[in-house]
């Protein structure tokens, strides 16, 4: 059973609205658009050379990805999660990605494991290019966690972890990837998970993934504890700093 496929990347046939949607989604995930900030439609429309109609369609699609909240008579804001909500997301990840790892150990072939190793080799090059300070994974098939969930061969699990919550979870994964000591350690943990999957040891694979996500959660909470946990003013517009 084939489970899921990578989110489509921009192609020549993509419409301008598709391009803007993907650019805004990437900017939100990377933290280039501030959580809680109001989306400035006129600014974004001018910046991207797109009319308000297609832009609003892109914003509605971002709402479907859980990255934007639209309120009547208020407008659209970049999603903001408080610490209890972040903890909920990581509790889901820790439990379900642990299960995905257990299932992957039962279902993955030698070829699948080799593909995971090749992916990690590419990630290692990226980490070195960033002098060990950043571990940013692109979406879909270029994302280690996405690949593990695919290898679970469980379509419902895939829908939960790689469907509407996928980019919201990535939004917070990116923050821990920027912690000084986290990139190199996370890379080592990824290899250990692949080792367990390759050996067909589902129990160990699940344990290692649980620990991996638990460590990431603690790093993220330590980071968030040092920041104010109130929403940004609605006068702060998302658009003036959008990714070009």
Tell me, what CATH number does 42's domain have? 1.10.10.10
CATH number of the domain within which 216 lies? 1.20.120.530
On the question of pLDDT at 6 being above 80, the answer is no
**Sorting pLDDT into bands at 50, 70 and 90, what band is 135?**
low
Task: Tell me, yes or no, whether 1 lies in a domain.
Answer: no
181 and 64 in a single domain? The answer is: no
Q: What percent of the chain has pLDDT over 90?
A: 45
Contact residues for 117 (Cβ-Cβ < 8 A; gap 6+):
194
175 and 211 in a single domain? The answer is: yes
54 and 147 in a single domain? The answer is: no
Burial class (CB in 10 A: 0-12, 13-18, 19+), 225: exposed
What confidence score (pLDDT) does residue 131 get?
Answer: 52
Quickly list DSSP for 108-166.
--HHHHHHHHHHHHHHHHHHHHTTTS-----SGGG-HHHHHHHHTT-HHHHHHHHSTTH
- The 10s digit of each residue's pLDDT in 85-129 is 999 999 999 999 999 999 999 999 999 999 999 999 988 886 666
95 and 212 in a single domain? The answer is: yes
- SS3 state at 98: helix
> Whole domain around residue 68: which residue ranges?
16-80+230-238
Task: Tell me, yes or no, whether 10 lies in a domain.
Answer: no
What confidence score (pLDDT) does residue 34 get?
Answer: 87
* Residue 164: other Cβ atoms inside 10 A: 12
Q: How many domains does the chain have?
A: 2
């Amino acid at each position: 059973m084939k489970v899921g496929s990578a989110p489509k990347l921009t192609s020549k046939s993509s419409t301008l609205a598709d391009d803007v949607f993907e650019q805004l989604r990437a900017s939100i995930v990377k933290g280039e658009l501030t959580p809680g900030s109001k989306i400035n439609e006129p600014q974004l429309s001018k910046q991207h050379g797109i009319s308000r109609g297609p832009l609003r369609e892109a914003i509605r699609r971002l709402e479907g990805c859980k990255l934007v909240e639209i309120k009547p008579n208020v407008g659209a804001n970049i999603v903001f999660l408080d610490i209890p909500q972040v903890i909920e997301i990581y509790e889901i990840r820790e439990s379900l990605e642990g299960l995905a790892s257990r299932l992957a150990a039962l279902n993955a072939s030698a070829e699948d494991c080799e593909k995971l190793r090749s992916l990690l080799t590419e990630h290692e090059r990226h980490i070195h290019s960033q002098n060990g300070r950043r571990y940013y994974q692109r979406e879909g098939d270029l994302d280690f966690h996405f690949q593990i969930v695919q290898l679970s061969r469980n379509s419902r699990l895939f829908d939960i972890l790689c469907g509407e919550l996928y980019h919201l979870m990535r939004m917070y994964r990116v923050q821990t990837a920027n912690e000084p000591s986290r990139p190199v350690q996370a890379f080592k943990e990824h290899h250990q998970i692949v080792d367990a999957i390759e050996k067909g040891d589902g129990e160990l694979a699940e344990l290692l993934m649980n620990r991996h996500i638990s460590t990431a959660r603690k790093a993220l909470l330590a980071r968030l504890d040092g920041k104010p946990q109130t929403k940004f003013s609605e006068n702060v517009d998302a658009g003036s700093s959008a990714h070009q």
